[in-house]
Structures are given as structure tokens and as C-alpha cells.
Structure 1
Amino acid sequence: MLGIHRALCIGNMLIFIFCFFILMNKRGYVYKFKINITSVLILLLAIWSVVRGIPFAVVSLQPLINAVLILTLICKCVYNINIKKSIINSLVYSLVYILIECSIYWFLFMTFIYIGDYIYILNLGINFLIIFVGIYFIDKIQKIYNDNKYLVYVSLTIVVNIFILVILNISTSVSNDLYKIVTNNNIEYNNIFYMSSMSGFIEYVFPYILAIINTILIFIFLNSIKSEKEKAKLELVNEKLDMQYKYYLMVKESQEKMRQVYHDMNNHMNNIKSLKNSSEDVNEYINNIEDEVKESKNIYNTGNILLDIILHEKSKICTENNIDFKVGIDFSKCEFIDMIDISSIFSNLIDNAIEACNKINENNIDKYITIKSTFIKGYYVVRCENSKSNELIIKNNKIFTSKKDKFLHGIGLESIKSSIKKYNGELKIKDSESKFIATIHIPVE
């Protein structure tokens, strides 16, 4: 019959493997387990590892290698991921698990006077609770880390070093007590001088070394933060310059087309006169000239270069699809809206409208998109109206459809909602038999 301590070590290993499966599932890895000779061997090895268990209170090399090896094989077999990711996932998880388990044990050991098997049970329960909660909230923890990673680095450095100083202070105090016992009782101890010297070094010199190392580390972190900010600022400037250059090329191309049309106007007039006896040829010729003018006139000045480019590109798509595209956008007071959200809001809004217009098969329905904006009582209001022929079902300001091809409005509107939510904005939709209206309200800062 197994002893209670042995059984708890096995339980520790079972919790270790069980929590690892939960973590991999939480991170989105999918099971791809196949029964073959390799999987059977890994299963036998896992059973052997479980029987060996994970000892409490020690971070020795052999249990760590055993834990990393079995998790790596599980990753490679069950999740079918490459060996590099398998080793990284297994090593990081094993180190975190064993470190947390050992820290809890020694905290309990120093807290309670009586040491018995109940400490291992309590250690196991607290360890499982911490690991399970950590895995459950791993997405939020990851987000906090991504948003404040340098602050986390600095905070961890300070906390760890404070912990080291506390432990050193306790160790030095104990060493001094031991030194007094040895000297007062004339106990023969060959290393007494070495112990006294080391205790003095730890007490009087080591804290200053630690302080210098911490200062250097924090200085490196702060420089890294500054460097990252400068890099991000430079990327933003380059992106703006790139947009301005694209806009300049777009305007230049349009102006050149218009110059060409004006330059050829006399030729056009002479050609029309020569074709006066053929009305069909004249009409076709005039239509071609009109198309050239239409392509050149769609230059917008909303107050935002990115939005101007988006509207220009969408107007070309509308022209190609015979959609009447009317724009009345003033974006001059909306500098607080990020570029990525400008693209998300207006690109999705217009793309959805184009998609709806392209689904119109009836000849008696005009294809049109009208997008306008205005400032009303502290709100920036954008109204996009488009013609349509397909039937929609709207519930709780969400769009549903029974068709198999899934009307694109549903996807695009969710993306728009996600962007305007950052600015406490609101999206309202209205549907009728022949038209669809989306209205956005964003508070103006």
C-alpha cells in the first residue's frame, strides 16, 4: 500500500498534466491524437511519470527534466506541433508550476509550527487553485502584460530583489546566531572564519551590488520603453508620409487626365461634328468623354487624407459597378479617431453598401450609395444609405438572414461596432423594402 506522501506526489503529477491540457486547450491548440506505436509508447511513459510523481518543495534537475520530457512528447503526439514550440511550452509551464508549488510549500512550512502530511494536502490544493485560476484568466493576464510589459518587468525586478534582500537579512541573522552559539560554547568548527566572512559580505556588501544591478536593469528597461516609443512614432510618421505621397500621386493623376481632356477638347469637338450624321457614334463618343471626366473628378477633401483615399478608391469601385456614389463628409473635428478605426468604420460601411447594391437584379431599382456626415449637439453623425433588394431580419440592432451566402452586412457592422465602441459611439440600423440606412453617433471630444 502506498504511503500518503507517495500518493500526494502522484496526485501532484496528475494535476500537473491535467492543468497542462487545460492550458493548451485555452490557447487554441486542437487535439490530433492518433492511436499508433508512438502514441502507445508515450502513454506508457506518461503512466511511468505519473507513478514517479513530482516531489514537493524541491526544484531539482531530475524531476524538472522528467516533467519537460513528458510534456514535450505529449505536445508532439497529441497536438502535432513542432518540436521547438513543444519544448518552449513544456519548459515554461514546468518551471512556473514547480516554482509556484515550491513557493507555497515553503511559505506554509515557515507559517505553521507543526509539520505533517496535511501541509502537502494544503499545498496541493492551493497550488491547483492558483494554476487553474491563472489558466482561466490567461487571456486577460496576457492583455495586461502586452499593454504594460515594461511596467511588469520593472515591478517584478523590484519585488524579486526586495524578496532576495529579506531572505538574505533572515539568513544573515541566523548565521550570526549560529556564530554566537559556536563561539560562546567553544565548539570546534573549521569553517567558522569562512562563515563569518561570508555573512559579513552578504550583510554589508551584497545589498549595494544588488542595488547597482537593479539600477542598471531599470535604466535598460526605461531606455527600451523610450526606444519603442520613438520607433512607433517614426512608423506613424512614415505611414502618414506614405499616405500623403499616395494622395499626391492620386491628385496628380487626376489633374493630368483633366489636362488631357481639356487639351483634346478641340479635337473632341471636331470629331463630334464629323460624326453628326451618326447619332449612335456621337452618343458613344460623348459617353467615353464623360467616363474620363468622372474618373478624374472624384477627389475628396474631408479633412483626413486616409479617408480621402478610401472614398476615392470606393468611388472607382462604384463607377465600375454602375452605382451612383454621393459623398458629403466633413471629418475636420475628428482628429481623436485613430487611423485604423477610420479605415474600419468607413471601409466596412461602404463595402457593405456596395455588396448590397451588387445583389440588386431588378432593372427598376436604381443602385445608389449616399454617405453624409454632420456635427449635431456634440456628436459626429455619419449616415450611410444604400439601395437593396434582399430581405433582412433585424433583431436587437443585429442583422440575420436565411440565405446560405450570408449577407456581408452582418460581419461588417460588427467590425464597425467594435471600432466606435472605443469612443463611446453608437450604431443604429434601419431597413425597409428598398433601402438600408446605417447611422453612427460618436461623441466629439
Structure 2
Amino acid sequence: MLGIHRALCIVNMFIFMFCFFMLMNKRGYICKCKLKKNIKSIVILLLIIWLALRGIPFGFVVLEVFINAALVLTLICKCIYEIDIKKSIINSLIYSLVYILIECSIYWFLFMTFTYIGNYIYVFNLGINFLIIFLGIYFLEKVQKIYNDNKYLVYVSLTIAVNIFIIVIINISTSQSHDLYRIVINNNIEYNNILYMSKISSFIEHVFPYILAIINTILIFIFVNSIKSEKEKAKLELVNEKLDMQYKYYLMVKESQEKMRQVYHDMNNHMNNIKSLKNSSEDVNAYINNIEYEVKNNKNIYNTGNALLDIILYEKSKCCMENNIDFNAGIDFSNCEFIDMIDISSIFSNLIDNAIEACNKIDEDNIDKYITIKSTFIKGYYVVRCENSKTNELIIKNNKIFTSKKDKFLHGIGLDSIKSSIKKYNGELKIKDSESKFIATIHIPVE
């Protein structure tokens, strides 16, 4: 009996090592055996064999077993994989702990399920444990994807599951301790030594589960709020980074934009003078036509009353021209000096960027791609209306846009940025969607 049990412990160790090799290969580590025919390598190899032959016992999470298993893997990493000692120790410790905990959990489940304990329990333990570890490593990419997509839900679910397990174990243990207490009383055995244990058992049974539930409810509440806070913080940092980049970019092109205005202002006069003096040379005609073409490509000069907004409209009009989008802008910004430049960039850049994105998704040739952005002053409000053509379907609920795209976290940041900016001025954003067009309207009170 002892010999079979010992052999099964060694088999457990070799399954443990095999699954580790499989995991390292799955994670992209290349096996390059570095064992050399010297005394040091021979000593390491003999140490690995000796530690492996000690096996992994069933159902025990003791420090000696844990250190033995982790040491075997660390030595294997040193001899076989090109990995530094720090990563070797971390990988070995984490894998050893997970493997032993899974193996022990299966063992004690089988131990409490079956009344007769024999070698078949250990065989079942090995089989189930190997199947779980093997499938977990084989489908590692899918497991990681599920974890990455729902990691916060996984944390909460595991917390709840572990606490339910603790409460069940407590109820079972207190029930068994009560049975022991009744046996002692019925047989008139001295029970002073277990009286204190009985009181502790009653406390654990009747009070501790509620304390545990309250503590974990508080922890889960704190955890969920922490998640929301981190998401909002990350979103705000992303928005601010985008705005800062836009703002710096527009300041960089401001000087060249001013020069372009002057060139365009005088260009028509230059064209008339050249045409009146020119000969019939084809080279001169071609030269003049090229200049006229350049002027037409740079004719979208705006005068909204704000230099930064003029630059934004100019840049976006060029982008629309490149994407065959008909861009029409009529913006009067003369009485809006109270709006900060960073918010001007946020509001108008994101409005037009969202419209350009929607137009670029139009695949049908018979649908015109257009963007129309206008502004006016109505009854003490500055009103901006941006309309664009579209074909993609949107879900709008409570003035929010929902999407089926995988990047739900990043989707809608443009609109969130607009809302964040106009909120400073007690403004409001309204969105309206139909089958062929999308309309965003902004109302900002003007003092």
C-alpha cells in the first residue's frame, strides 16, 4: 500500500513538471538546454532528479512540499530556458502554488465524497487534476481573453465564491463539532477541555457568517467604486492627452495659416496681372494653371472671430476634401470669448471628427457624404448644430450612444469630451439619429 502511494506521489510530481513545460512553451519560452558536461551541471541534474523523486503528496499544502516543488522548477528554468533568475523564481512559485492548491482541493472533495479511502482516490485525483491543468494551459489564450474582457467581474465572482465556500465549510465543521460534543456528554466524559471550543464553535456558526458577509459586502462595494474611479480617471487622462496634442498642433500651424491668408488675399490680383502680361507660351499657361489649382485647394479660409477655431475648420475641411466629403461651415464665434481655447478644440474637433468617421463608413456610391456645421445666437443661447450623413446603425438611450464594437471603453470618448467641456458653461448636448443622418446640437447660455 505504501509503495503504491509513494509511486503515485512521484507520478504527481512528473505530471506537475510536464504541465509546467507545456505552460512555458505556451507562453513563448524557447527550450534551449544549457546543461554542460561539468561538475556543476551534473550536480544540478542530480538535485532535480532527487527532488523529483520525493514526489508531491496528496492533500497537503505544507511549506516543505511547496519549497521542494518551486525549487525543482527554478532549477529547470536555469538549465533549460533562457530566463533570468527573478522571473524563474516568480514563475515557479506562482505555478507551484496554483497546482498544489488545485490538487489539494480536488483531493479533499473526493475525500469527503467517498466513504472508503483507497488508492483509487489518488488515481482519480491525478486524473482530474491533470485534466483541469491541461485544459487550462491548452486554452490559455481564451482564458486570458475572458480574463482581460471581464477581469473585474472575475474578481468579484471569485470573492463571492470563496466566501460561500468558507461559510459552507464553517457550517460543516461546527455541525461535526456539535456531534462530538454530544458524544462527550452522552458518555459522561470530562468535557471541560472542549467547553471553550464549543463556545468558539457556536460563535463561528451563529455570528461569524454575518460578519464575513458584511465585511465582504463592504469590500465589494469599495472595489466596484474603485473600478469606476479608475475607469473615469483613465478616460479623463486619455481625453486630456488628446486635447493637449490637438491644442499644440493647432498652435504650430497658426503661423503658416496666417501667411496663407495673405497669399490668398493677393492671389487674384497677381493672376490678372500675369495673364495681361503673358505670352502665348504653353509653359506660361501651364505655370499659371498650376498656381490657380494650388489656390483652389487652399481657398477654405474662415473668419469665425476666433483664430484657433479658424485653424480647426481649415484643417478639417482639408481632411474632408481628401475623403470626398462635402464640408459646409458657417460659424459665428464673435461673442464667445468666455469659452477657453482648450474647450473650443474639444467641442469643434470632436464634433467634426465624429462626423468624418461616420461619413467614411458610407460604402454606397449613391449616398452623398456631407457635413454641415452651423452656429447662431438664439434667446441668450449659443447654438451649434452639426449634421452629417451616415449609414451605420446606432443605439441611443438617455442621450448616450451605445455600440457593439469590442472597444466599448474607448468608444464615445469624443462625445464625453464634448460634454465635459460644455458642462463648464452649463451647456447641453442633444443628439438625434435617423436612418440617413445624425445631428448633434449644443446649447450654451451666453451671459
Contact 2:58 2:122 in 1 (8 A): yes
Shift of 1:241: 2.3
Counterpart-to-counterpart distance in 1, 2:24 and 2:31: 9
Amino acid in structure 2 at the alignment position of 1:120? Y
- Unpaired segments of 5 or more residues in structure 1? 316-324, 347-370, 381-419, 424-442
Question: Which of these residues, 195, 198, 201, is aligned with residue 199 of structure 1?
Answer: 201
Shift of 1:276: 6.6
Question: Which of these residues, 69, 72, 82, is aligned with residue 84 of structure 2?
Answer: 82
Q: Match of 2:10?
A: 10
Contact 1:168 1:203 in 2 (8 A): yes
Contact 1:258 1:293 in 2 (8 A): no
Q: Match of 2:335?
A: none
CA gap of 1:65–1:298, structure 2 versus 1, over 3 A, is farther
Contact 1:254 1:295 in 2 (8 A): no
Amino acid in structure 2 at the alignment position of 1:25? N
Shift of 1:240: 4.7
CA gap of 1:271–1:281, structure 2 versus 1, over 3 A, is farther
Amino acid in structure 1 at the alignment position of 2:178? N
CA gap of 1:69–1:11, structure 2 versus 1, over 3 A, is same
Q: How many residues align?
A: 344
Contact 1:11 1:53 in 2 (8 A): yes
Equivalent position SS for 1:148: helix
Counterpart-to-counterpart distance in 2, 1:87 and 1:32: 18
Q: Match of 2:213?
A: 211
Equivalent position SS for 2:31: coil
CA gap of 1:35–1:280, structure 2 versus 1, over 3 A, is farther
Shift of 1:63: 0.8
Counterpart-to-counterpart distance in 1, 2:104 and 2:178: 27
Counterpart-to-counterpart distance in 2, 1:8 and 1:312: 74
Q: Match of 1:22?
A: 22
Asked if 1:184 corresponds to 2:195, the answer is no
Q: Match of 2:142?
A: 140
Contact 1:8 1:120 in 2 (8 A): yes
Q: Match of 2:102?
A: 100
Question: Which of these residues, 317, 320, 323, is aligned with residue 327 of structure 1?
Answer: 323
Counterpart-to-counterpart distance in 1, 2:117 and 2:282: 103
Shift of 1:261: 1.4
Counterpart-to-counterpart distance in 1, 2:317 and 2:142: 37
Q: Match of 1:61?
A: 63
Q: Match of 2:331?
A: none
Counterpart-to-counterpart distance in 2, 1:330 and 1:45: 76
Shift of 1:249: 4.2
Q: Match of 1:235?
A: 237
CA gap of 1:46–1:284, structure 2 versus 1, over 3 A, is farther
Amino acid in structure 2 at the alignment position of 1:117? N
Q: Match of 2:307?
A: none
Contact 1:255 1:296 in 2 (8 A): no
- Residues 47-56 or 258-267, more deviating: 258-267
Equivalent position SS for 1:166: helix
- Unpaired segments of 5 or more residues in structure 2? 303-310, 329-349, 370-388, 393-403, 408-435, 439-447
Amino acid in structure 2 at the alignment position of 1:31? C
CA gap of 1:217–1:287, structure 2 versus 1, over 3 A, is same
**TM-score for the superposition, normalised by structure 2:** 0.63
Counterpart-to-counterpart distance in 1, 2:366 and 2:315: 17
Aligned-CA RMSD value: 4.6
Counterparts of residues 310-325 of structure 1 (less than 5 Å): none
Question: Which of these residues, 172, 175, 178, is aligned with residue 173 of structure 1?
Answer: 175
Shift of 1:72: 2.0
Amino acid in structure 2 at the alignment position of 1:180? R
CA gap of 1:187–1:42, structure 2 versus 1, over 3 A, is same
CA gap of 1:299–1:150, structure 2 versus 1, over 3 A, is farther
Question: Which of these residues, 50, 65, 82, is aligned with residue 52 of structure 2?
Answer: 50
Contact 1:76 1:83 in 2 (8 A): yes
Counterpart-to-counterpart distance in 2, 1:116 and 1:109: 10
Counterpart-to-counterpart distance in 2, 1:57 and 1:114: 16
Identity %: 74
Amino acid in structure 1 at the alignment position of 2:11? G
Asked if 1:149 corresponds to 2:145, the answer is no
Counterpart-to-counterpart distance in 1, 2:206 and 2:78: 50
**TM-score for the superposition, normalised by structure 1:** 0.64
Counterpart-to-counterpart distance in 2, 1:225 and 1:52: 45
- Residues 120-129 or 226-235, more deviating: 226-235
Counterpart-to-counterpart distance in 1, 2:138 and 2:233: 34
Counterpart-to-counterpart distance in 2, 1:298 and 1:199: 83
Question: Which of these residues, 125, 129, 132, is aligned with residue 131 of structure 2?
Answer: 129
